[in-house]
Chains A and B, each alone.
Chain A
């Protein structure tokens, strides 16, 4: 039973004491910072990376 239970345990639990960045009055957890950076990166990538499936346009079919 214990073996089955351990199947559901997290591989890399993030339970160790949190890492924080302090800059003047700004304090943010590294985890939140990563999420925010990923959001901005995803946004930029969504704008820049070409969207597939519009190649037919070149063929000029209507």
Chain B
């Protein structure tokens, strides 16, 4: 009638001694010790707080990188412009194996890089008659004409002198003016305010300025300098010599190893997430997985943990009434 005792599933019934154990006192001591430890670490090491960077800083430090990025937002070649869901339908986004999960969920945070990052902000600039004309010419132009202008501009060489972006391109229509004005606007800080204020006076949503920032070279280069890039195990790292999210080691590790880093690179995020979800489910269901759940018994680390118990039972031998009962009776 009784089921067979499975040592990795069932626990033997404990019939031995009980000792006084003051868990409230233990908890209080633990709280005091942990608090003191935390206060000590905070006094000693503090915490990192590098100020947020801005489009103003970016366009001031590297105006050409800024303008190049702005051009890619306008001609649709930037990372965000071609991102796909949830921002736009320019691509299918990443796939988990054959499944374009992101595409199925769809576009929920619409971002039109040309409109949102370049043209709309330019319309907010007051008192630049040439720009007003340029924007009118642009919106009246055909798609073919716009592409021709953008292609012509991209063929030129961009440079920055006397506080302005210039380009050697000819026949680019109003595009040179857009780039010059947008860069100047960014250098005053007005673009930061405009992108954030897209939602009105009050806002807590920084999606657009962060996406624009992440499309350039400048922002990632600062991070790479601090070992924060994805291919540098960046997710578990922190600025300076502070410990970071070390508990993300397994998640960040996959990005460094083949095939995630090689043949799966285009879908690395999707594949890493899928892998981590599977591993997480396995960890949660570990008590039900034969073999894996036997590792604790095979490794015999438990002999060390309960050495006092085993010593005591060995000394008492079979004579102790506490161990007299059928020790292998499952609790089930």
Interface of A with B (CB < 8 Å)? Answer: 9-20, 25-32, 34-36, 47-48, 51, 54, 56-57, 62
Contact = CB atoms under 8 A, between A and B. Distances in A.
Contact of B244 (A27, A32, A51): A32
Given A14-B46, A27-B227, A19 B243 contact: no
Contacts of B19: 54, 56-57
A35 B331 CA distance: 39
Interface residues of B, number: 31
A14 B49 CA distance: 11
A16 B44 contact: no
Given A47-B305, A57-B308, A57-B312, A16 B233 contact: no
A20 B227 contact: yes
B246 A36 contact: yes
B301 interface: yes
A26 B308 CA distance: 40
Contacts, number: 82
10 contacts: A10-B44, A14-B240, A15-B240, A16-B240, A29-B241, A31-B242, A32-B243, A32-B249, A36-B249, A57-B19
B244 A31 contact: yes
B2 interface: no
Given A10-B42, A18-B239, 5 more contacts: A13-B46, A18-B238, A20-B227, A27-B233, A62-B17
Contacts of A62: 17
A15 B243 CA distance: 11
A51 B220 CA distance: 50
B243 A35 contact: yes
Instruction: Among A15, A16, A17, A34, find the residue whose CB has the most chain B CB atoms closer than 10 A.
Output: A15
